[in-house]
Structure 1
């Protein structure tokens, strides 16, 4: 079983570290290999600069964790850039580890404010991009309504699979829980368990035996002053007893506790009780509240206090404020030792619902998609592994030079620039581009004559002469580059920022040709559209002007196979201006016939058409327009009926959404040549080089 689970805290002070450690203990008892990951966290003062959970795992346990300290130390002025950086680096770390473990447990970041929307954007974005299950962590705070929480989830339109909720009851009224624990030893029931929306997979009962308060920090919070301090050598306190004019219960064990009581009640009643039962009560100290005039108080009862032989402290705060501070105090597990942490882990692990946590229910929200960030990560990693040689015929173009420099730095491919060596170096120098010595620059004038004979052999049926062959190669780097590819000297060719698509395609057809082994009769193209949340494949948006039904079916099949090659599950939408039988027309009938041909040729593919764009990618609209469609709004490969609609749409989406698109990626050629849009960005070129390198390799990216 391989799965990723992300814990997302709903508010502060909910014992997140304690829950994470308890879950780790739970999985390890099931003999599952688990790795812990805290992708983002607030820096803490530590010799090894780790988050709290990783710090404890490193100090006391052998459970592996992913050290993300290097991505949390980088400073950003703009929060938007910081978020983008954190997501990118976190996804990269995650993908490097996920295949080695049964469970990858991720601990989300806690919020610094009470606004739910702002709390979870970073956590939810990561969960979506890595297709993680989500567990929300709540505290049983009576001021936090479960219906409010569920409405917030609904409004956020969470795309990840919500596995369930864990409720930590640690911050209930301490005296109330103390008494309840004596009466029963079972999970505390509350209104959260009545919800049918999300399963409760853990409802953790506060346990008095596991809680120790660091007394110095607590007293600082209470603004405490001493009156009498007798043998008070205490670091951790077990329990605070809020005695607010209640009937004193002698049946409760008050050892290792501090009594918090208004000083007027202390004087009138409690001081006499202590005198009678002092040996039995055995508490650490008394904290008096509402002490406004300490001098008057000391004069009136100093003698009585000294007779008690216990430590007495006071604060100006009233008992309700003290109660609020206690219930909101962050009990740091870092104060504990190994035996206490181990005891806590064992206790908490018993509260988790094994059935729900180990449920193999798939994330139906986005299981069909791959996020843009993950897609780019896979491109870089896979291209780096196969280390292919890519030729760039437009070597003197500034964007090509910049892209080649980046590709070399990222080790995506070995680039060759075609062009005048001196000119290329001058362009790089004047634009502050660092060109590594390992980037090969070849001047065409010194090598073009080597390929004249080969070109004549390839084009002999067309009656090409030596002079015409020589002139074609001499005046066109794309022809020369295609011949180098045909001879096997390079693995792929990328160009198009200067040459037109017609130039690129003509060279590809004349020299490389279609893949006869796979019975491919035409060359088509696709674009990888790197949208905000996922990657879509558009085809054909660059080559075939008005394909017939047969050609349209072949374009769709080529696009589906290429999608698989790059880790995208192909779910094909054959696009039209109508859905199903809602309209008639020549174009609609062409799309309908092409869809039937695909089903006949490749029954293994999921395809529907004719279908409108909105119904193909929007689940809500799909249920209205096409409720019986096998796509149900989750198409990943979108095939346009003609070049006009495809080219307009891809450019409209790219420019309006300000996204990167990779392509056009040519399909059906014997060896990979890829065309660039003349408006291609540096990133577009870099990614196209990576795609071309992977196309030249037979193994799938995933």
Structure 2
């Protein structure tokens, strides 16, 4: 996929650290080995070290240079518990917070991003979207200018690249939320070097139908135009009017977007999810995502049916989000007010040193 070759050039040598909470999953291990070997990112696996070693060796993967973090061995896990307890602002007890941080690898992972051990996280090979996104919203939260997170799909076939949103998060967004999704998608498409032309999709075009559903899309379009006049957006419009010049000119004359859109904002999650899968399965487009938009730090969600190549590709996307947004050093200092960790309690203990330690103890 051409877009990945372009993105890889932008992230190579940036030493982006990406957390993988599903470190005991063989597909994740395989992708991490490739990413490390090609020096694309510095992967960090979460899980039981002994189990990860066993799974990797059973498939002949060398992970001696890949870092692993176990919640029960990480020097500052108790500090992470305190951070999560404060972030929840009385919604959980300290005892509940401790149980959640030690037992939920996704929560532990976003806390590591929050405290600066890594700049992004990828999960979903085993966990549901809700399991991945919930802790990100609780800890990392949305950027100040946004109230929601949305999911964008990148679709490519030969030289044609399109952006579809929202395809993964918001079931029936309001006009205000649709406007946010459009702005988020504009930002992401521009970070890839594209000039987005955004079509706000509906079953009517330019007021051809008067109803609550199409009015929502018209209102969203107006919000974007008024607040962000630099964004090229128009709507509401049907898909054929958005992509076929002759139809766009007939149904929406004078529109700067009609007939030449490359970014599509769907009115509901139903429409977006169905739309990208039709393009993928019937039209032969390669689809990557959903890429989560609007968070303070990149956290992305895999399909549970993913293969190692999907994990590899989404990692490139995630690392590019880090580089494009400026590498974060974390929101807080995880060691503030704590005693230094003991020699046996490394913050991140790599596999090679851990195996040496096991050999000495045996």
* Residue among 232, 237, 247 paired with 1:611: 237
Distance in 1 between residues matched to 2:187 and 2:96, nearest whole Å: 38
Distance in 1 between residues matched to 2:62 and 2:166, nearest whole Å: 35
1:697 match: secondary structure: helix
Distance in 1 between residues matched to 2:319 and 2:88, nearest whole Å: 27
- Asked whether the equivalents of residues 660 and 684 of structure 1 are also in contact (C-alpha less than 8 Å), the reply is no
1:446 match: secondary structure: coil
How far does the alpha carbon of each residue in 1:325-373 deviate from its partner, in whole angstroms, 9 at most, with x for none? Answer: xxxxxxxxxxxxxxxxxxxxxxxxxxxxxxxxxxxxxxxxxxxxxxx51
Q: 5+ unaligned residues in a row in structure 2: which ranges?
A: 327-362
Is 1:435 paired with 2:62?
yes
1:650 match: secondary structure: helix
Is 1:469 paired with 2:84?
no
Report how far residue 658 of structure 1 moved.
4.7
Q: CA RMSD in A?
A: 1.9
Matches within 5 A, 1:257-276: none
Partner of 1:638: 264
Distance in 1 between residues matched to 2:8 and 2:285, nearest whole Å: 18
Larger Cα-atom Rg: 1
Of structures 1 and 2, the one scoring higher in RCO (CA 8 A, sep 6+) is: 2
* Residue among 53, 56, 67 paired with 1:425: 53
Distance in 2 between residues matched to 1:403 and 1:634, nearest whole Å: 36
- Asked whether the equivalents of residues 661 and 684 of structure 1 are also in contact (C-alpha less than 8 Å), the reply is no
Partner of 1:402: 30
Report how far residue 579 of structure 1 moved.
1.8
Is 1:458 paired with 2:87?
yes
- Asked whether the equivalents of residues 56 and 63 of structure 2 are also in contact (C-alpha less than 8 Å), the reply is no
How far does the alpha carbon of each residue in 1:7-47 deviate from its partner, in whole angstroms, 9 at most, with x for none? Answer: xxxxxxxxxxxxxxxxxxxxxxxxxxxxxxxxxxxxxxxxx
Distance in 2 between residues matched to 1:696 and 1:381, nearest whole Å: 14
* Residue among 647, 650, 661 paired with 2:273: 647
Is 1:484 paired with 2:73?
no
In the alignment of these two chains, the number of paired residues is 324
- Asked whether the equivalents of residues 568 and 636 of structure 1 are also in contact (C-alpha less than 8 Å), the reply is no
Partner of 1:550: 176
Report how far residue 698 of structure 1 moved.
4.2
TM-score (norm 2): 0.84
Structure 1 pair 605/396, CA: closer, same or farther in 2 (3 Å)? same
How far does the alpha carbon of each residue in 1:144-198 deviate from its partner, in whole angstroms, 9 at most, with x for none? Answer: xxxxxxxxxxxxxxxxxxxxxxxxxxxxxxxxxxxxxxxxxxxxxxxxxxxxxxx
Partner of 1:602: 228
1:526 match: secondary structure: strand
Q: 5+ unaligned residues in a row in structure 1: which ranges?
A: 1-371
Partner of 1:445: 72
Matches within 5 A, 1:33-112: none
Structure 1 pair 659/680, CA: closer, same or farther in 2 (3 Å)? farther
- Which 4+ residue blocks in structure 1 deviate beyond 4 angstroms? none
Partner of 2:219: 593
Structure 1 pair 684/670, CA: closer, same or farther in 2 (3 Å)? same
Partner of 2:308: 682
Report how far residue 552 of structure 1 moved.
0.7
How far does the alpha carbon of each residue in 1:253-290 deviate from its partner, in whole angstroms, 9 at most, with x for none? Answer: xxxxxxxxxxxxxxxxxxxxxxxxxxxxxxxxxxxxxx
Partner of 1:656: 282
Distance in 2 between residues matched to 1:528 and 1:395, nearest whole Å: 26
